[in-house]
Structure 1
Amino acid sequence: MKFTSPTLLLTTAALLLAASAPALALDSFDAVRRAHQPSDTAVLDRDGVLLQRVRTDATVRRGQWIALADVSPALRTAMVLSEDRRFYEHSGVDWRAVSAAAWGNLWNTRTRGASTITMQLAGLLDDELRRAGGGRSLTQKLGQTVAAGQLERQWRKDQILEAYLNSVSFRGELVGIDALSRTLFGKAPHGLDAREAAVAASLVRAPNAKPARVAQRACEVMQAMESSEADRRRVDCSALDMFTSAALQRRAFDPSEGIAPHLARRALQERRALMAKAGATDGVDTELRTTLRAPLQRFAQATLLRHLRELHGRNVEDAALVVLDNASGEVLAWVGSSGELSRAAEVDGVLAQRQPGSTLKPLLYAQAIAERRLTAASLLDDSSAQINTASGLYIPQNYDRRFKGLVSARTALAASLNVPAVRTLVMVSPEAFARQLRSAGIALRESGGYYGYSLALGSAEVSLLALTNSYRTLANGGRFGETRILPAAQPATATQALDARATFIVGDILSDANARTRTFGVDSVLGTRFWTAVKTGTSKDMRDNWAVGWSQRYTVGVWVGNASGAPMWDVSGTSGAAPVWAEVMGFLHAREPSRAPTPPAGLVQLPVRFGEAIEAPREEWFIAGTEQPLFARDTPAADPEAGARITAPADGSIIAIDPDIPPTRQRVRFEAHGSGLQWRIDGKPFARGNRALWLPWPGRHVIELTDARGRVLDQVRLEVRGAGVLARH
């Protein structure tokens, strides 16, 4: 019997296919490298510095493209010895290996495969040549041979090896040398030693083999890497077996790592939302640039962690911080948790809803000043108060359980006195204050009436981001704009949410170190070498501690507490969040000045005195028309009607008619502060004086307080529910 050489048959078939088939449309090396898609997205800061690496493709584990120069020499050697010994000699096909494989198949003897690195790469780059579950067909093998020759003609050897190392599957979901190195060995590819390189090379041949088989193959590769027989005998295969078993169980390539995990997650969500809105179907880019500053992010994160360690033993383990650019609304730092110190590190403290304590007071006083219910020099009574509410008596207390007597609004706000704040909310009404908060970006879950007068002391829940942005509204003269974490070509639009004159006065109060001395002392951590305005807050039972404030250019918000809601032990406004706030502000202005804002039009400043030496004389700011030189007990205001207000019912009240009581016996009491007052209901005159009784009828009504000339001084809205008597107009 006459045999024809298998090599001759394969060679003839390959040459015939090459001659008859048109040239394959192979991509260039640069195109293949550009098309490489890691399974992670690199979230970058504004200057392109890596902040966080986040896995965004769950179907495969693929790292960054690694240049051949960044692959360890041991791995390059091991891969060539394992997969293609004559890689640098052949032109795409190793005909000697083909011949050996063919004869082995003919006589059923086991031989090494004939597929070269170039041929394998051709199969990885072309979907039509990709290996299926049952292996490649003869047509695919011949096409692979032709493609390998074409690759060798168009690419250099180093490019072929580099593309192969970045494209080959190693084990399970691991594709490419970067994913393999970081997952199994916890290091970059340039750091792989001979033992690790041998294990990596052996996985190409049998990706899903048992550890013992991988170790046996790795031992053979290590022996082949040695140049002398003596060195080959010194290879410890038993130790390699244990090493391989441990490596194959390791998963050191974390799904996310970096310094901004919560920001990265939020940025990816926003990017997906923008793409969906635009109708894009492509996945998220492998790089995503944000508005953050990496140096500031590192400093803020390190400062938070260090400060929490200093509070060790006070039952506090969580914190969050955000820094905003006043002009653009860009987020410059976003620290969502204390990371390793927290038992709830995944909870984003920047977005979590918490009770803000006294940090809502600046917005309340701004509203009262804008509505001319108060001036910064107006006197408020800081004494025990019992306020009637629908659910009973509300008795507010100060933080130190002490009362200061008569104080100016400036002192009441700067020293964070609770009772004057509640009295101020009585003037404004919870419902009106809730509307003001919403216009400043704080979206309350319930109506103002739901929270009642405790809203002045922060009984609602807000996020650190929303609260900090509301302070940015104060910093911007009352103009509210959304924050952003992704760069935008156009600046965000702003709306006038607060009175610019009132926000200036509030900022002046919160920057006044003398005004806060009654609570914080003369040497407070809140004082800075440059101009800043800041407010602290502590929620009920010391569950949340806040410090939020602004400079000429930046607004910084800090929260300290426990994600679980557990109370802290002996952590006050100046020992919890304030030191972190002060350090971050100092970092921001280490080389950048911060000057006080310019007063807007419509403000006047004049000297004021206080009767009975209640407070020392000083210069004070007023909205034009509300100024007066003397403030004393029972001193009339410059405009007697300026302080006229409805004290009951509260704005937004819902009144239910009791069906068991005759409707004609049910009355709603109206009360007001001022003189020469008249009442109107739904635009029609009703009564005169400071008090009146009203027979309610179902529906929604507007109650107005007017002067003798019919000018509206104050108004509230209420709703009556239930069956009543016929309406009488």
Structure 2
Amino acid sequence: MRGSFLAAFLAALLASPSTFAAPTPEAVRAQWRSSDAVLLDRHGAPVQSLRIDRQGRRAPWVALADISPALPLAVLQAEDQRFMEHGGVDLRAMGQAAWDNLFRERPRGASTITMQLAGLLDPALKGAPGGRTLRQKWDQVREARALDAAWSKAQILEAYLNLAAFRGELQGVGAAAQALFGKAPSGLDVAESAILASLLRAPSASRPAVARRACALARELAAATPCAGIERAAQAAFSRQAAMALLPPAREAAARLLKGAGDRDVNTLHSTLDGTLQRHVQAVLRQQLMALRERHVADGAVLVLDNASGDFLAWVGNAGGSEVDGVTALRQAGSTLKPFVYALALERRLLTAASLLDDAPLDIATPSGLYAPRNYEHDFKGHVTARASLAGSLNVPAVRTLMLAGLDRFAERLHALGFASLTEQADFYGPSLALGSADVSLLELANAYRALANGGVAGSPTLLPRARPEPGRRVFDAGAAFIVGDILADRAARAATFGLKNELAAPYWAAVKTGTSKDMRDNWCIGFTGRHTVGVWVGNFDGSAMWDVSGVTGAAPVWREVMDYLNRHGPGRAPAAPAGVVRRTVTWEPALESPRPEWFLKGTETTRVALLPEGRRTPKIVYPVGDTVLAVDPDIPAGRQRVFFLAHGPQGLRWQLDGEPLGTAGAHAGWQPVPGKHELVLLDGAGGELDRVTFTVRGGG
């Protein structure tokens, strides 16, 4: 029965002209869409692919000239040996198939490559599970004849290799070559080509069956490749995960651009990224996270910005398999906001870099209770210059500077810098905003530091190439931004806290600031040279604390490695002082620092900074302040809890607590707190009262 149908079909075919209008090769190529969006770097090289279509796996269209010659030869041998001779339909093969099907239990097909292409182009020709109907076969033949008349053989073969299904979700030679062999179609060898050609006939066949067919095909082609080599290639291909070749990771940047593209049909995204730099940054971050693994550090992110253009040159949102983008995730800022506090105070001419600030215990009344900032090292330095305070990241002077500059003004300035994540109400943070109690993103921080690098001019960063630089907006006085940058680049000024040899001490000019949030949950290092700004965050996306990781040991090594790479061809140079900035040699009385040059905004310059003599300062109790309420910690043994009273004044002052002598001020080993109300008196050497406060201890009873 099957043979009579085919005979009638052949007779009708010979007498019937085709009226089918074949699509053009250009139209077919234009309709083709890769299943992945490919992100290109600033040089046009791919840096990341991102899956956008889950219906099938397709690579970009591959021209026949970019396919290894071994594959077309294998495909023609396996599927259509008279492809170059027939007019789209192989009547000889169809006749042989009709004869064979009369006497064979398993039917034999006679579809040419052109007929198969017609079926791929026209959904109406898609067969049911039992095969195509006679009508569908008729239409397939007609369309194949029309294609052969309108297209060249090369165009037909190219389209077939791009549209054919090879295995599973893999459609087209580009996806198949990448997923099964990890290479581009141009690199396919004879063994790999024989395997792909064998899959066309039976995409879901088992590995041994595909290997046997590929081996037979290689023999038909008189290839020198032994069957053992083909079997090994098949084993490797079938054990490979069906995924596109791994590209340098820029997944987060690709996702951000795709989100911005909306519903537009996008398969190629051009970005500002530098692929070589992206790979280097990713490798450096991974290496540092491996080194910190024993200190409970799992995650990190790095951002590199071009200062002039705002281009993102590297965007590494994480170094592992997490879906979190560490560049845009909100984390506690730590000390990274301090430079902006000082820039505001300098700009308002409330202090200079040479001004002396008091690093002594400080208690500030807030709606939620007393706020008592302490330094990272849990000590106090006494009077220090503003330069040393910022460079050494001292907490109490930063809070005093914020109180001087104004909390509301500072919050407004942060919003102007682009910190959109901050709440509009500055009172929500209170004085702790100076120490980075707010949640910010690495993107916001890096771009704010870029504003300092650009002399106080802020702008929007971009992942998309811009025809011309975006005009910036001034958010800080140029002189204030310059002085803050000079302080952040001063290794001598930060030596008291960080030492002279550390990852921050680059052999070229670079301004840098570290930061560590409360309980060591976030670790930052942000800095800039004249050309680039680099921001680094390390921590844990789940919010758990790191173990003994500071800015210098956590994020700073990554920052330094990236900066060294950026400056490998030309070290960064110190920027020139802008107009309105002058330099003077300053001396201090008493000599808290040796005489040295300092930068000033014009009109604030001085050559001498004098501290009011000790004897002319009124002795007073600094801690606790009046009406303080202290609480006994139930989790700490009572015998180990201590309260340390602090006072300003000359030597020889003594304490009296509840009418009983307690010892010399500054010399006692701390008082073990007792619940109840207490009265603390500061006495001079002769026993005269100088100051008195009352405080209360709660709990413990």
- How far 1:185 moved relative to its partner? 4.8
Residue deviations 1:34-90, cap 9 Å, x none?
543221111011010111111111222112334446555664454334322333442
Pair 1:64 & 2:60 matched: yes
CA distance in 1, matches of 2:221, 2:101: 32
CA distance in 1, matches of 2:517, 2:221: 74
Q: What is the match of residue 50 of structure 2?
A: 54
Q: Is residue 186–residue 252 contact of structure 1 (8 Å, CA) maintained in 2?
A: no
Q: 2:242 aligns with which of 243, 252, 275?
A: 252
Q: 1:123 aligns with which of 107, 119, 125?
A: 119
Q: Is residue 334–residue 350 contact of structure 1 (8 Å, CA) maintained in 2?
A: yes
- How far 1:571 moved relative to its partner? 2.2
Q: What is the match of residue 368 of structure 2?
A: 391
Residue deviations 1:160-218, cap 9 Å, x none?
32321211123443211232333345554456667765554444334456x4xx85476
Pair 1:265 & 2:258 matched: no
Q: Is residue 422–residue 440 contact of structure 2 (8 Å, CA) maintained in 1?
A: no
Residue deviations 1:335-381, cap 9 Å, x none?
11222xxxx53221111111121111000111111222222111100
Q: What is the match of residue 358 of structure 1?
A: 335
Residue deviations 1:695-728, cap 9 Å, x none?
xxxxxxxxxxxxxxxxxxxxxxxxxxxxxxxxxx
Q: What is the match of residue 265 of structure 2?
A: 283
CA distance in 1, matches of 2:545, 2:327: 19
CA distance in 1, matches of 2:209, 2:315: 49
Q: What is the match of residue 418 of structure 2?
A: 441
Q: 1:563 aligns with which of 541, 546, 551?
A: 541
- How far 1:526 moved relative to its partner? 1.7
Mean CA deviation greater in 553-562 or 458-467: 553-562
- How far 1:263 moved relative to its partner? 1.6
Q: 1:346 aligns with which of 317, 323, 326?
A: 323
- Distance 1:235-1:425 versus aligned 2 partners, 3 A rule: closer
Q: What is the match of residue 296 of structure 2?
A: 315
Q: Is residue 479–residue 497 contact of structure 1 (8 Å, CA) maintained in 2?
A: yes
CA distance in 2, matches of 1:582, 1:425: 30
CA distance in 1, matches of 2:46, 2:86: 41
Q: Is residue 125–residue 136 contact of structure 2 (8 Å, CA) maintained in 1?
A: yes
Residue deviations 1:453-484, cap 9 Å, x none?
11111111111110010011111122111111
Pair 1:382 & 2:371 matched: no
Q: What is the match of residue 212 of structure 2?
A: 219
Counterpart residue type for residue 117 of structure 1: I
Q: Is residue 583–residue 599 contact of structure 2 (8 Å, CA) maintained in 1?
A: yes
Residue deviations 1:642-688, cap 9 Å, x none?
xxxxxxxxxxxxxxxxxxxxxxxxxxxxxxxxxxxxxxxxxxxxxxx
Q: How does 1:49-128 map to 2 (within 5 A)?
A: 49-68=45-64, 71=67, 75-103=71-99, 110-127=106-123
- How far 1:320 moved relative to its partner? 1.3
- Distance 1:451-1:515 versus aligned 2 partners, 3 A rule: same
Q: How does 1:690-709 map to 2 (within 5 A)?
A: none
- How far 1:135 moved relative to its partner? 4.9
Residue 613 of structure 1 aligns to a residue whose secondary structure is: coil
Pair 1:541 & 2:523 matched: no
Unaligned runs of 5+ in 2: 614-701
Q: 1:327 aligns with which of 308, 326, 348?
A: 308
Q: Is residue 440–residue 498 contact of structure 1 (8 Å, CA) maintained in 2?
A: no
Q: Is residue 22–residue 147 contact of structure 2 (8 Å, CA) maintained in 1?
A: no
Unaligned runs of 5+ in 1: 273-280, 636-729
CA distance in 2, matches of 1:220, 1:243: 13
TM-score (norm 2): 0.79
Residue 590 of structure 2 aligns to a residue whose secondary structure is: helix
CA distance in 1, matches of 2:244, 2:255: 15
Residue 393 of structure 1 aligns to a residue whose secondary structure is: strand
Mean CA deviation greater in 601-610 or 51-60: 601-610
Q: 1:550 aligns with which of 511, 528, 535?
A: 528
- Distance 1:197-1:629 versus aligned 2 partners, 3 A rule: closer
- How far 1:329 moved relative to its partner? 0.9
Mean CA deviation greater in 122-131 or 580-589: 122-131
Q: 2:348 aligns with which of 341, 359, 371?
A: 371
Residue 439 of structure 1 aligns to a residue whose secondary structure is: helix
Counterpart residue type for residue 336 of structure 2: T
Number of residue equivalences: 610
Q: Is residue 336–residue 513 contact of structure 2 (8 Å, CA) maintained in 1?
A: yes
Root-mean-square deviation (CA), in Å? 3.4
Counterpart residue type for residue 388 of structure 2: T
Q: What is the match of residue 483 of structure 2?
A: 505
CA distance in 2, matches of 1:251, 1:582: 37
Q: How does 1:643-658 map to 2 (within 5 A)?
A: none
Q: What is the match of residue 650 of structure 2?
A: none
Q: What is the match of residue 587 of structure 2?
A: 609
- Distance 1:202-1:371 versus aligned 2 partners, 3 A rule: same
Q: What is the match of residue 708 of structure 1?
A: none
Q: Is residue 538–residue 545 contact of structure 1 (8 Å, CA) maintained in 2?
A: yes
Q: 2:386 aligns with which of 398, 409, 422?
A: 409
Q: Is residue 98–residue 114 contact of structure 1 (8 Å, CA) maintained in 2?
A: yes
- How far 1:592 moved relative to its partner? 3.0
TM-score (norm 1): 0.76
Q: 2:469 aligns with which of 464, 488, 491?
A: 491
Residue 536 of structure 1 aligns to a residue whose secondary structure is: strand
Residue 23 of structure 2 aligns to a residue whose secondary structure is: coil
Pair 1:176 & 2:172 matched: yes
Mean CA deviation greater in 138-147 or 494-503: 138-147
Q: Is residue 167–residue 204 contact of structure 2 (8 Å, CA) maintained in 1?
A: yes
Q: 1:296 aligns with which of 246, 263, 277?
A: 277
Q: How does 1:521-670 map to 2 (within 5 A)?
A: 521-634=499-612
Q: 1:166 aligns with which of 143, 156, 162?
A: 162
Residue deviations 1:605-646, cap 9 Å, x none?
3332211112222222223333333222239xxxxxxxxxxx
- Distance 1:385-1:137 versus aligned 2 partners, 3 A rule: same
Q: Is residue 19–residue 146 contact of structure 2 (8 Å, CA) maintained in 1?
A: no
Q: Is residue 78–residue 221 contact of structure 1 (8 Å, CA) maintained in 2?
A: no
- How far 1:268 moved relative to its partner? 1.7
- Distance 1:225-1:49 versus aligned 2 partners, 3 A rule: closer
